[in-house]
A and B are shown apart, each in its own frame.
Chain A
């Protein structure tokens, strides 16, 4: 494809190309669910070990329902519908499933089992957040800030601020939830800015 001349056109192209990902409110419920899961994993929480891993599950089910059904309808009604061209994102999908997710999982296992002084999961999540930002249209500097936050977080066990191991992984998941919530809110604000805040009707006159 040729380069586009104007930054505004590039932005229109990027938003349309990644419309689903820019619907920020969709990510907020999942962020809260991740934060609940994280809190449940904290050592001081009075829950039995058998229950802890499952506390977040009902929250995630509700979050998924809110995200796909309620908020999906909200975006369709107020911002319209875009059918993604999946063939444009083969590389992103491949890298996501065969590089990013396995790296995140491997880092969590390493942190949980071998307890290295630097949180590898936080570093992996930092890379994932930055890859997400880049591959879904760029811009949105809040994700770059979040990635830097994850890198800083990875050093906390080394500095003696946070114990390493699964408790630290739980904290990383909580931080991920917070990134979902704040990032989602800011993405939505950006989408409203680009698509205008005026309400339009979805009945066309063509």
Chain B
């Protein structure tokens, strides 16, 4: 029988996790926190809240939590129309052959691999540096491995076709013994660093790609993220969110939404930081 929580217990757990791990558990939405806690406790055989609090004193358990609370399920070229639009925008950027791109809080590789394939096809990969961070070292290692799930290869191929890619998706991965691994050469352009979502790379970036990764956090935290992105972004830079997300208001003094359907925002180019 799964443990159930009332709202004050959830808040208490979130505060303790935040304090012990220095990560924003207290800024997660209630439904997400409750769902993931239930899963974690089920997996670990924890039946009582007291047991959970005792487990938090164990370093190994604490190390696992950022991965257990990350969302890794996605697919290559999810929302193909977004990727077509991004390709068009990058092609028209004056800095297209010298891009700095940041993917914060990335727990699985598909968004990154899609971006690298896109950049390769428009011949912009060589001059580009892509920054990827996540609080879990294990999550970063998983992304570095470049593994694609066999069960998702059909949908990946279907999405790539809708993206209207130049070649065949098979050109970008190696298959052996039913494993599919993205070409290692693509990943040479990526810098990985183990940090939370509010830690931007050194130097300003041209594009922040954060699709569907703010969904699990509160509106208050979205405001903090917006400020972080504003500081990290060059004037004229892009913030790409998921198609059902929005940059929190107010933003119109610093950003404009240049693609309403795909939720792409641009920091005004006239802003001098």
Q: Do A and B come from one complex?
A: no
- Using CB atoms and an 8 Å cutoff, list the residues of chain B in contact with chain A: none
- Using CB atoms and an 8 Å cutoff, list the residues of chain A in contact with chain B: none
